[in-house]
Amino acid sequence: MEERNQFLSKTLFLKGLKCKKLLFLTKYYPNLREELTEKAEEIFQTGNEVNLLARRLFPEGREIPSNETISRQSSITSSLIKEGVENIFEASFLFNEIFVRTDILHKGEEGWEIYEVKSSTSQKDEHLYDVALQFYVLKNCGLDIRKVFLVHINSDYKRWGEIEIEKLFKKVDLTESVFEKQKEIEEAINSLKEVLMGEMPDVEIGEQCIENYPCEFKSFCWKGIPENSIPEMEIRWLEDKFGLYRRGFLYLDELNPEEFNGNPKMYIEAFLEKKIILNKKGIEDFLNSLWYPMAFLDFETFQSAIPPFDGTKPYQQIPFQYSLHILPSKNGKLEHSFYLAQPGIDPRRELIEKLLNEIPSNSCVIVYNEKFERGILTDLSELFPEFREKIQEIIKNLRDLMLPFKRKDYYHWKMLGSHSLKRVVSVLTPELSYQDLEIRNGEMAMVAYQKMYRANYPDEIDKIRKSLLNYCFLDTFSMVRIVEELQKLVK
């Protein structure tokens, strides 16, 4: 363990605001940290890319090297300020054992200005504390800070041609709010320094452990939490699951359904009674809305903070893959086709041309979560007006396989209140398992595709492609099997 000291970086400060135990573990027990998830790595990578792009708002800036010692970084920053450099990237300051690096320090007409760059499309609560700490340190280092800005992505920007930097970013003036936070910042600093000099804080598990993505110390703090217990369950309808845990409830079968209302009450009753709900009339009505040929369709998409292609916005869902199972008639032979783009190209034209060639005319197009696929198809019809009529026919023929499960025409107690495709597959077609796949959900598929951009070896790219194809295939094949099982239920 590192020798106790009161040194705080900006990262440590923000972690301490979230959870004092997280601060303590990060500082003194970094060996207990789990490896970053691929999603967390992708978020970190995105932040770096956005930060580099935002620097173009301030030309001819000088960057402080991060591989120098803290005292050297601070010294270089001080020298550049004395030289009259007006734009400094990663400007570094140390005051009273608190170290901060400012994304962009700009010399404005009235004085120095802080610009903190974020890859989000709006201001978040932690952003204010981030810049307020920077202001506190820089001011105490003797800098005359007149303005403090948050620079974030403009979600309304649409790319045509080269990226227009001024339009891609929004600048939010937080100066007044930062001034108002200074007393709170000083109190927080004193409190967190006490934490660093004391024993490991006793902090109960809670939302802070899983907010945005799991904490890197979750396995350490949760080592006494049993699998399949309430805290470990992904059950959104149980609003205060950590409150229940603190009251002594560890498993769902310990809950009294009479203490709940609406759907939560029904889900708990079904779980306790091992109940299966079946509304044959509802399922029959849904099945009667289908016709042959049936085309089972699933898209995979990726998002980028920086719009990669013409006609795209920040974080727009861009399709790069589809899987298509076609059942031409009741006793016909099931056929499969697919598309998976090569990394680095705009896949949309090639994808929609191939889909329109492969999907039979007037097919019943079965999807899971119609809103998502409808949105993708609508975007494509707007981008390619020459295909609009054919795409609109597909949209008109969409049928949502989620519907009978969302309406509770079929509900199995093991679904635990979820009607996701994976949860339905686990109870209706348990022989199909996502657990054996390298990629098990859409988020993992998105990260895997983006990894292909940075893959260095053909074997690595081939492995990712195979994993993506296996995952997307299972999505549409699962839909085929679910329809078959629904048909059996109403016979």
Of the candidates 478, 486, 491, the one whose C-alpha atom is nearest the C-alpha of residue 334 is 478
For 94-107, what is each residue's pLDDT tens digit? 999 999 999 999 99
Q: How confident is the model at residue 2 (pLDDT cuts 50, 70, 90)?
A: low
pLDDT at 453: 75
Q: Which of 197, 221, 256 is the last residue of a domain?
A: 197
Asked whether residue 207 is domain-assigned, the answer is no
For 404-437, what is each residue's pLDDT tens digit? 999 999 999 999 999 999 999 999 999 999 988 9
Question: Is-above-0.85 flag for pTM?
Answer: yes
Asked whether residue 21 is domain-assigned, the answer is yes
Q: Are residues 174 and 34 in the same domain?
A: yes
For 223-263, what is each residue's pLDDT tens digit? 999 988 999 988 888 888 999 999 999 999 999 999 999 99
Asked whether residue 357 is domain-assigned, the answer is yes
| Residue-range definition of the domain harbouring residue 26 | 8-197
pLDDT at 174: 99
Q: Are residues 335 and 442 in the same domain?
A: yes
Number of H helices, E strands in the chain: 18, 14
Residue 446 has pLDDT above 90, yes or no: yes
pLDDT at 451: 86
Q: Are residues 388 and 482 in the same domain?
A: yes
Q: Are residues 313 and 191 in the same domain?
A: no
Asked whether residue 334 is domain-assigned, the answer is yes
pLDDT at 379: 97
Q: State how many domains the chain has.
A: 2
pLDDT at 1: 62
**Widest CA span of the chain, in angstroms?**
84
Q: Which of 156, 178, 197 is the last residue of a domain?
A: 197
Q: Are residues 175 and 61 in the same domain?
A: yes
Structure tokens at 255: 């809950």
Asked whether residue 144 is domain-assigned, the answer is yes
The CATH number of whichever domain residue 444 belongs to comes to: 3.30.420.10
Residue 344 has pLDDT above 90, yes or no: no
Q: Which of 143, 171, 197 is the last residue of a domain?
A: 197
pLDDT at 459: 85
Of the candidates 338, 430, 16, 316, the one whose C-alpha atom is nearest the C-alpha of residue 187 is 16
> Using CA atoms, how far apart are residues 363 and 361, in angstroms rounded to an integer?
6
Our CA dihedral for 48, 53, 58, 61, rounded to 10 degrees, sits at: 50
Q: Are residues 436 and 307 in the same domain?
A: yes
Q: Are residues 184 and 290 in the same domain?
A: no
pLDDT at 40: 84
Residue 455 has pLDDT above 80, yes or no: no
Q: Are residues 455 and 325 in the same domain?
A: yes
Q: Are residues 191 and 286 in the same domain?
A: no
The CATH number of whichever domain residue 137 belongs to comes to: 3.90.320
For 126-178, what is each residue's pLDDT tens digit? 999 999 999 999 999 999 999 999 999 999 999 999 999 999 999 999 999 99
